[in-house]
Chain A
Amino acid sequence: MQTEQLILTDTFCISHNVDYAFIRSLYENGLIEITTREEKTFIPESSLEFTEKLIRLHNDLEINLEGVEVVTYLLEQLKQQQQEILKLQNRLRFYET
């Protein structure tokens, strides 16, 4: 059975100096995953990196929740396009001498 590491949301908030309400709203908008166990909320370790990225966008650039959502969507699109470009470049290499 695969086990997953969970980080207590309160601990995360203290450690990252972020308000719990913001984490909650990220979850409610479907941007991050939160697990509830025995009335306590946790962030799975697998989504820690992504959650930290959203916090950085919020804290460093003073972007609100809606802005974070748009930026995340556009970054994902950019990533997909870059992968597509890479695939096409590799195909193009085949025809180059």
Chain B
Amino acid sequence: MDFIDYYQKLGLKKGATDEEIKKAYRKLARKLHPDLNPTDKEANKKFQELNEANEVLSDPEKRKKYDQYGKDWQHSDQFEQARQTGRRSASTGGQDFSGSFEGGDFSDFFSSMFGGSGGRSSQAKYKGQDYNSELQLSLRDAYTTHQQTLNINGKSVRITIPAGIDNGQVIRLKGYGAPGVNGGPNGDLFITFSIANDLRYKRQGNDLHVSESIDLYTAVLGGDATIDTMSGKIKLKVKPETQNGTKTRLKEKGFPVYKKEGEFGDLYITYTIQIPTNLTEKEKALFMELASLTS
């Protein structure tokens, strides 16, 4: 458990006045509030740390204890015991630190020094913190509707990933975030899908593009070509005199359309003509003969 410099968290020096603490907290809260930083995965954590720093420094009693024991916070238990004894002998009541401040779960450092784990002063219900996570998929994984089991805070959750999900797309699992406060609803889990590029296929929206090699003779004379698609092999007729870079569209052989069962994009095939190598003497002679015919 590391020491936390609350003054540093607020960008202040140790002797900061109450007014300076308040001002620094407000300024940083407006900058770090999770609702204002929806894409920052660390926003909740940063805001929590800021609240924790403010909770300690804006409370004279907590600040005194923090300033007194600071880096030697491990000894604060003895301090606490001595203080409790003093209270009992004087028969005076005392405010319990735990659960008397704003914020969710504070750091272990905070709990160790002030007791409790943080909470809200009122009995108001608050939605739990949302969690964000990233899930890596291959293009082939994204092609079919499939199920995956995720481990969320030690709990196995089986989710169905619909075919056609896009790179960067986010899905929300309601109630799989942090537990709510005072009986409030649980937060949600947001999963961002990261789909890796495929070596063979390139995806553009719902369309797929693929480069297919054909030999010179098929390109010149026409013939059949067997093409691998994501839904299996298909046989294509190659027209005679097909040029290098010719593009053919296969309707509805592309990527599935997200949440539209049975709908697919198109597959575009670009032909790359392979020029024969290691020609035999006979082949060379025949090519020369062909060349002489065209010149």
| A-to-B contact residues, CB < 8 Å | 15-17, 49, 52-53, 56-57, 60-62, 71, 75, 78-79, 82, 86, 89-91, 93-94, 96
Contact = CB atoms under 8 A, between A and B. Distances in A.
A69 B184 CA distance: 26
B33 A61 contact: yes
A15 B167 CA distance: 39
- In this complex, the member of B168, B184, B204 whose beta carbon has the largest number of chain A beta carbons within 10 angstroms is B168
25 contacts: A16-B124, A16-B125, A17-B122, A17-B124, A56-B35, A57-B33, A57-B35, A57-B36, A60-B29, A61-B26, A61-B29, A62-B26, A75-B35, A75-B38, A78-B38, A79-B38, A82-B39, A86-B168, A89-B167, A90-B167, A90-B203, A93-B197, A94-B202, A94-B203, A94-B209
Q: How large is the interface on B (under 10, 10 to 19, 20 to 34, 35 or more residues)?
A: 20 to 34
Interface in B203-261: 203-205, 209
Contacts of A62: 26
B127 interface: yes
A60 B33 contact: yes
A94 B26 CA distance: 44
Interface of B: 26, 29-30, 33, 35-36, 38-39, 122, 124-125, 127, 166-168, 184, 197, 202-205, 209
Nearest to A52: B127
B189 to A, nearest CB: 14
Contacts of A93: 167, 197, 202-203
B5 to A, nearest CB: 23
Nearest to B197: A93
Nearest to A54: B35
Contacts of B205: 90
Contacts of A78: 38
A31 to B, nearest CB: 14
A62 B25 CA distance: 12
A86 B167 CA distance: 8
Contacts of B38: 75, 78-79
Contact of B35 (A17, A53, A90): A53
